[in-house]
A and B are shown apart, each in its own frame.
Chain A
Amino acid sequence: MHEMSVTMSLLDLVLGEAAKAGASKIVGVNVVLGQMTGIIDHYVQANFELLSQNTPAEGAALTFRNIPRQARCRNCAHVFQPSDLAWSCPRCQSLEIEITGGNELYVESIEVE
């Protein structure tokens, strides 16, 4: 839902980085996206195409590395990916779990010319 404001921040960030490097065109953007953020990559893609028109990032290829959410059981230390339905530990059924992955939302690198 909040893909538009995230995409605006993404565009500002990559335009700034490209300008710092003295690049005139951005051809690729590599984004790392965790599942916990709830952000859907193809919406970001569609927004980016729209927002980047007439900027050095127009036509840049966005590549997403999607990171699934990951949890660790505080009872038996089992590491697992919680399903959409149940977040108990699949090994010992404990509810004492800690989210250890999937919060990522960053630009890893950009490809410029």
Chain B
Amino acid sequence: MEIKVLKDILSANSQIAEQNRKLLASKRIMTINLMSSPGSGKTTLILRTVEELKSKARIAVIEGDVSSSIDAEKLNRAGIAAIQINTGGACHLDASMVNSALPNLDLDDIDILFIENVGNLICPGGFDLGESLRVVILSTPEGDDKPHKYPLLFTQANALVVNKTDLLPHVWFDLEAFTRVFKGLNQQAALFAVSGLTGDGIEEWGKWVMANLNKRRTLNPAE
């Protein structure tokens, strides 16, 4: 006997993601799912963003890694509330991992929650975590051909941050050509060129983050 199913294989994950989204919205937290290859500068971008926005917003971080708590410790040392999720081998975070991590954060004391996904340009794209925004980082040494190699992540992004612009003179990365290709694929996304090393471009990125937070606050005013 044949039974029609017509259900998304990841529907269980999507349901938990919706629970996360509701909980975070009820606390008026804007959540950013930060995705990139390993080593492209996710943790550094978070450190820079906190520095840039510390007088304007309370920021906390969920760190996803296959193993170790190096990143969370680095953020804690900088005075940032950060908790570590170890996926134990899984190449991406999923909604239930975030769901288990949320009770360990003081949700009444957060405006912006960064979720630093496992470094990987493929797998995280399939898993909704309940985030408000998806941001992808691409660092210039990775090359400007990545949107076509890993289209899912790039087409889903609300913003793309090109990091390590200080290395542009030394690597094969044509920022202008890249911008045309990326904007062709994803018209809605904002695009930023920054250097985590020098802080160049961080101000503009920080303004975008704050504009999004304020937009959400206006749409969802305090009760």
A residues bordering B, Cβ < 8 Å? 1-2, 4-6, 9-10, 12-14, 17-18, 21, 23, 31, 36-39, 69, 74, 82, 84-88, 94-97, 99, 103, 105-113
Q: What are 9 A-B contacts defined by CB distance under 8 Å?
A: A13-B5, A36-B152, A87-B181, A88-B184, A106-B8, A106-B9, A107-B6, A109-B6, A111-B2
Report if A109-B3 is in contact (Cβ < 8 Å); known contacts: A1-B91, A36-B152.
yes
Q: Please tell me if B219 contacts chain A, counting CB pairs below 8 Å.
A: no
| Whole-angstrom CA separation of A22 from B51 in the bound complex | 58
**Contact code string B1-38 (vs A, CB < 8 Å = 1, else 0):** 11111111111110000000000000000000000000
| Whole-angstrom CA separation of A103 from B155 in the bound complex | 11
| Whole-angstrom CA separation of A3 from B1 in the bound complex | 28
* Most central of B6, B125, B151 by chain A CB within 10 Å: B151
* B120 surroundings in chain A (CB, below 8 A): 1
Does B126 contact A37, Cβ atoms closer than 8 Å?
Answer: yes
Report if A38-B122 is in contact (Cβ < 8 Å); known contacts: A9-B13, A110-B2.
yes
Q: Please tell me if B94 contacts chain A, counting CB pairs below 8 Å.
A: yes
Does B126 contact A105, Cβ atoms closer than 8 Å?
Answer: yes
| Whole-angstrom CA separation of A94 from B185 in the bound complex | 11
Majority DSSP secondary structure for residues of A touching B:
mixed
A-facing residues in B188-216 (Cβ within 8 Å): none
Least CB separation from A73: chain B residue: B184
* B152 surroundings in chain A (CB, below 8 A): 36-38, 103
**Contact code string B91-133 (vs A, CB < 8 Å = 1, else 0):** 1101000000000000000000000000010110111000000
| Whole-angstrom CA separation of A94 from B155 in the bound complex | 17
* B6 surroundings in chain A (CB, below 8 A): 106-109
Least CB separation from B122: chain A residue: A38
Does A112 contact B155, Cβ atoms closer than 8 Å?
Answer: no
* Most central of B3, B12, B13, B155 by chain A CB within 10 Å: B3
In the assembled complex, the CB of B36 is this many whole angstroms from the nearest CB of chain A, namely 15
Q: Please tell me if B168 contacts chain A, counting CB pairs below 8 Å.
A: no
Q: Please tell me if B146 contacts chain A, counting CB pairs below 8 Å.
A: no
B residues bordering A, Cβ < 8 Å? 1-13, 90-92, 94, 120, 122-123, 125-127, 147-148, 150-152, 155, 180-181, 183-185, 187
Does B1 contact A1, Cβ atoms closer than 8 Å?
Answer: no
* B181 surroundings in chain A (CB, below 8 A): 87, 95
| Whole-angstrom CA separation of A16 from B127 in the bound complex | 21
8 Å CB contact of A110 from B5, B13, B92, B125: B5
| Whole-angstrom CA separation of A14 from B94 in the bound complex | 20
8 Å CB contact of B9 from A95, A97, A107, A111: A107
* B13 surroundings in chain A (CB, below 8 A): 9
In the assembled complex, the CB of B212 is this many whole angstroms from the nearest CB of chain A, namely 23
* B94 surroundings in chain A (CB, below 8 A): 5
Report if A17-B3 is in contact (Cβ < 8 Å); known contacts: A37-B152, A95-B184.
yes
Does B12 contact A97, Cβ atoms closer than 8 Å?
Answer: no
Does B184 contact A96, Cβ atoms closer than 8 Å?
Answer: yes
In the assembled complex, the CB of A81 is this many whole angstroms from the nearest CB of chain B, namely 13
